[in-house]
Amino acid sequence: MAATIPCISYSRKMPTSTATVSGLETKVKLGNSSSISSVQPLCQSFKPATLKIRHVVIRAIASESEKSGPSGLSIDLRGKRAFIAGVADDNGYGWAIAKALAAAGAEILVGTWVPALNIFENSLRRGKFDESRTLPDGSLMEISKVYPLDAVYDTLEEVPEDVKTNKRYAGSSNWTVKEVAESVKNDFGTIDILVHSLANGPEVTKPLLETSRKGYLTAISASSYSYVSLLKHFLPIMNPGGASISLTYIASERTIPGYGGGMSSAKAALESDTRVLAFEAGRAGKIRVNTISAGPLGSRAAKAIGFIEKMINYSYTNGPMQKELAADEVGATAAFLVSPLASAVTGSVVYVDNGLNTMAWHPTALHFPCRRTESFSSPA
């Protein structure tokens, strides 16, 4: 993928990231990317180049040969148990977070949307996820148990009859938030880490002015209140000193045309709730609460937005780092946030988007026609 910059030349080589505990090196060939309609014609472009990227990997247990090497900080989650809500395939942020926590030594439990449960479990059993399950030491990530979950409903009494009788829910039971928390308690006793990685906006492709009340409230319920409900019901079984994280998006504070249906409002609510929950869960159970504002990722779920590739290309072209965001990078940040290394971090929105959130203007906006010679100064 190639990035373009207007009337600005660079000869400096892109640096290689080495902020890892241990890593897997791959080479990514950068080719031409499709342009976005909102971006103006550019004067100069980078030539295709080979960029070496070091995928972030968390490792809990060093081999004998590694023990003799240099020592340093490590993320150690051995003895910890994590419940990740919203894992239904192997290409989203929820999966990447599960892998990072597993690589750091945590035991993994997941909650999968009921209609997707059979496909997910069958794919696990048949080995379709084996390649993506592979951890740095060559072993496969183990998921101790997969729970059916529909986080839109807190209790069975709230579930409409048409949902109860829906064939996609046939054969599953105990899938409301309260029931799942009780099942986890019965099966494992306690957890240390709670991850919210789910969202739904049935009218996400509609402008806000065309969004129905039902569509708006559904987005809020599924994408933000679901986190409040999860933490409410899991907090009694979380060990003191534990941590919880969710996933948000920059549309909570900036306008992203096309990201509609109330989803931007839901993300804003999620970030506000993060601060309030950090206080309440911190006082009630010594639990830290943070959210990760992740950049766009071409996951299966994100394709419902309809223009995810344009979002990725825009981020690549206009972000400070000019590289695609890897799900592993979000996973590594999550592993840090739930680890003892982040013991004083709570109530925060942590941006993992290659710095796109820092940009006020995209670079093409700085391309002034050559005939304009007057000087520009910042306003007083």
Cα dihedral across residues 125, 127, 128, 132: positive or negative: positive
Q: What's the Cα-to-Cα distance from 241 to each of 103, 284, 338, 344, 351, rounded to whole Å?
A: 20, 11, 9, 11, 23
Strand partners, 4: 45
Of residues 279, 297, 259, the one with CA closest to residue 348: 279
- Which sequence positions are flagged as catalytic? 249, 259
Q: Is 197 in contact with 93 (CB distance < 8 Å)?
A: yes
Helix and strand tally (H, E) in the chain? 11, 11
Token couple for 256: 């992203």
* Distance, CA of 293 to CA of 95 (rounded, Å): 16
Q: What's the Cα-to-Cα distance from 7 to each of 316, 322, 356, 359, 374, rounded to whole Å?
A: 18, 17, 21, 19, 17
Burial of 116 (0-12, 13-18, 19+ CB in 10 A): middle
Of residues 309, 314, 318, the one with CA closest to residue 367: 318
Helix 93-103 and helix 327-337, axial crossing angle in degrees, nearest 10 = 50
CA angle 240, 152, 101 (to 5 degrees): 40
**Percent helix, percent strand, percent coil in the chain, to nearest 5:** 40, 20, 45
Question: Which residues, other chains included, contact 105 with Cβ-Cβ below 8 Å and sequence gap of 6+?
Answer: 60, 61, 76, 77, 78, 79, 80
